[in-house]
Structure 1
C-alpha cells in the first residue's frame, strides 16, 4: 500500500514538473520570420533551449550543434501566432452563463476587474486554439456593466498550469455605440463618464480622491492610476471616424496615455491622424459591409489603407471567443492586392499583423512573434502556406517545448470519422 502511494505521488510530481525545452534544428523548410519580410525558401531554424538562435537561408549556417535535425520536406515554419482581444480561458460553453466568465455585467466594479485569476488553463478553447498555431494571446472580460472591461492578461497557450505570463497588462474601455448603451444612451454621456473617471484616477494617484463625491469605486480609481500614468495601455473600443478623432484629442490632452484603438472600422478615414499620433490599431480582420451605423464607411481596404498611411496595425478575429481563424483573415488581406481598386497587404505584411505586430502591442518585446536570434522559441510547422484556407499546424512548440495538439474536438473527430452504420448505437436504428 505504501509503495503504491509513493508511486502515485511520484507520478503526480512528474506531471507537475514542466517539460524541458529541446535543442533542435529544422531544415528544408519555407521559413517565415514574422517581421514583415517575405518567406525564405530552403530555410533553416535553429533552437537552443527556449530560444531561437538562427532563422534564415540554408546558406547562412555551416553546421549544427545538435543531433536532432528535422527535415521539414518543404513545409512552412513560422513563429507562433499572437491573438489579441480574446476571451480564451474564460468560458467552457459561451451560451451557458455559469461556465462563462467573459461578461461581468452585474459587477459593481469595472476598471478594477483583473481577469488573470479567472483563466482556466484546461479550457477546451485554449486547447483548440493551440492546435490552430496560436501560442500567445491577450485575454480580457468584455465591457458590460461598466464602460471599462477591466485589466486583461497576456497568456501563453502551453500545456501547463500557469498560463498567465503578464497580469494586468492593459485596460479596456468601450466608446462608440456600445459605450453609449452602457453609460446611458448617448455618446455624450460616455465621454463625460470617461473624462470623469480619468480625472478621479489622477486625483487618487495624487492623494486628493474624495470617496464621498466620487463616481468610481475606490478599487476602480486605484486601477486607473496605472492608465493615467502611462504605465498600463488603454485599449479603446471605437469604430466611427469622428469617435476615433475624439480619442486622439484625449491623447493630446493627456500625453501620458498609452492608447490602442480597437475595431476602427472607419480608421482609413482618419489614418493620417492616427499615424501622426503614433497610436497602434487592433483592427477587425475584414469588414466588408457595415454591421452598424458607426461602421457605415467600413471597407475591406481599411487595414491596407491604414498601413499605407503608416499606422501600426494588428488584426483581430472579429469574435473574441474564436480567434483561430486569424490566419485566414490575414490571407484575405493578401488576396485584396489582386483586386483592382482595393488596398491589401503583401504576404509578409499580412503575416506580421498576426505575429510580430500584435506581440509588440501586447508588450512581448521587440522580438515577440518572430523567428530571430534571441526570440522565444514559439515555433509552428504547417502542412502548407499558413495564410491559405485548409493549411493546419502539424507541430507546435511553445518556449521550445513540443505541445500536444489534442482537444475534445480532435478526439470526437477521430472517434467518429471512420464509423459505418454498423457502429452506430442502437438508438439510431429507427
Structure 2
C-alpha cells in the first residue's frame, strides 16, 4: 500500500507540473502521416516547440537544427491515435457507482449534461490507453433516462491535470432501439421527442420560449441552441438502414444541423445516401452479429463498403462491448486491412485504416491539426516497434504536444512486481 501511495503521489506531482514542449527529430523511420496515404519507408519528422515543422521523406530534409535526433531505424512513426466515442476518464471501476460518471439516469436534465467537469485525467484507463498509442479522445456520456445523453468533449491523454482540450464538441442522441426505450417504448415517440426538443430549442434561441407547457428544461433548451444553429455537432446513434434515412431527413426541417452518424451497422445498405448527404460516420470496428433486430444486416465489410461509396468513416464507439478498451483501436483497424485479403469482403487499405483512427475522427471533431503529421500539426506522435496495425506491435515512445509521456501504468507496475519473484513468494492464489 505504501508503495502504491508513493507512486500515486509521484504521478500527481508530475501531472500538476506540465513539462515544456520539446524539440526533437526522428530520422530513418517508416513514417505514416495519417492522411490516408501509404507509409514512407525512410521518413523524418521534426518537431519544434510542440508542433510539427516537417514530416516526409528523409531525402527531402535540407537540414535538422533541433536536438535530440532519434534514430528510428527499424521503427515506425505515426501520429497519435484519436478515438471517437469513448468513456475514458468517466469511471475507474464501472461497478462502483460512486466513481462512475458515465450516466446520470436520475437527473432532471439531459441535453445540458456536460462530461467535461467529470473527466478524471488520473484515471487508470487513460494511462492504459496512452500506453497503447492514443493521444486524443472524444469522450461521450451514456444515455440516462432521455434520448439525449448530453455533450461530449475532446480530451488529450497527457499526464497533466488539464485534460479537456475542447468542451461541448457535440450533443449525443439516440434514435434507434435505445432511443425508443427512453422515449416511451417506440421509435415513433423518439422521433416526436427529438423534433419537439429541437423546435423548443429554436423557439428559445429566438426569444419565443416562455417555459410554460414546454417539455424541455430551460437548461436543456439553452444547451440545444448551438445544435440548431450548426455550431455544435449532433451525433446520432443509429444502426438500422431505415433509421439512418430518417436521421438524414432531419435536415429538411433543421437545415443547419451538423450531423454525425454513430454506429450505422447497416450503413452499407444506404451508403450512397449517406455520402450524398455529406454526413460522416463513427462506426464500430467489429460489428457482424445480429444480436438485435437493428443489427440484422451487420457485417465486418460495413466500414469498407461505406468508404468505397465516399463516406468519411472513423472507427470508434469503444465504450465496452465487443470493442472493449480504446487501446484496441489499432487492432480493429488492422482487421479492416486483413479483410482486403478475403474474397468477397470489403476492407480498407493500410493508409485508410490508419486514417480511420487518427485524422478522420479528429476532422469529425473539427480539428485539422490533430491525428496527422504535417507542418503546423500538434506534436502528437508515436514510435512503434513495428507495423502499428499488427496485433503484436507496441508503442515504445509517445509524445503529446511535443512532450514525451510515461508509458508506466498500474498494469506494468504489477508486471514488474511479480514477474521475477521466486515462486515461493507468489500470493497463495497462484497455487490454484
TM class, shorter-chain normalised?
A: over 0.9
- Separation (CA, whole Å) in 1 of partners of 2:63 and 2:405: 27
Pick from 308, 330, 334 the counterpart of residue 333 of structure 2: 330
* Deviation at residue 171 of structure 1 after TM alignment: 0.3
Corresponding residue for residue 423 of structure 1: 425
Distance 1:59 1:180, change over 3 A: same
State TM-score, norm by structure 2.
Answer: 0.94
Count the aligned residue pairs. 418
Superposition pairs of residues 210-229 of structure 1, within 5 angstroms: 210-229=210-229
* Deviation at residue 415 of structure 1 after TM alignment: 1.1
Pick from 341, 344, 348 the counterpart of residue 341 of structure 1: 344
* Deviation at residue 224 of structure 1 after TM alignment: 0.3
Return 5+ residue gaps in structure 1 as ranges: 1-11
Pick from 353, 375, 390 the counterpart of residue 373 of structure 1: 375
- Separation (CA, whole Å) in 2 of partners of 1:187 and 1:416: 52
- Separation (CA, whole Å) in 2 of partners of 1:14 and 1:33: 30
- Separation (CA, whole Å) in 1 of partners of 2:184 and 2:380: 44
- Separation (CA, whole Å) in 2 of partners of 1:131 and 1:15: 16
Compute the RMSD of aligned alpha carbons.
1.6
Superposition pairs of residues 209-358 of structure 1, within 5 angstroms: 209-319=209-319, 322-358=325-361
* Deviation at residue 219 of structure 1 after TM alignment: 0.4
- Separation (CA, whole Å) in 1 of partners of 2:260 and 2:271: 14
Question: Does the 8 Å contact 2:398/2:405 carry over to 1?
Answer: yes
Distance 1:14 1:250, change over 3 A: closer
Corresponding residue for residue 382 of structure 1: 384
* Deviation at residue 230 of structure 1 after TM alignment: 0.5
* Deviation at residue 67 of structure 1 after TM alignment: 3.2
Deviation string 1:259-317 (CA, Å, 9 cap, x unpaired) is 00000000001101100000000011121222211010111110011001000000115
* Deviation at residue 15 of structure 1 after TM alignment: 6.6
Question: Does the 8 Å contact 2:82/2:137 carry over to 1?
Answer: yes
State TM-score, norm by structure 1.
Answer: 0.94
- Separation (CA, whole Å) in 1 of partners of 2:384 and 2:29: 10
Deviation string 1:78-127 (CA, Å, 9 cap, x unpaired) is 00000111111100101211111001111111000011110111111111
- Separation (CA, whole Å) in 1 of partners of 2:79 and 2:13: 31
- Separation (CA, whole Å) in 1 of partners of 2:190 and 2:46: 51
- Separation (CA, whole Å) in 2 of partners of 1:341 and 1:71: 41
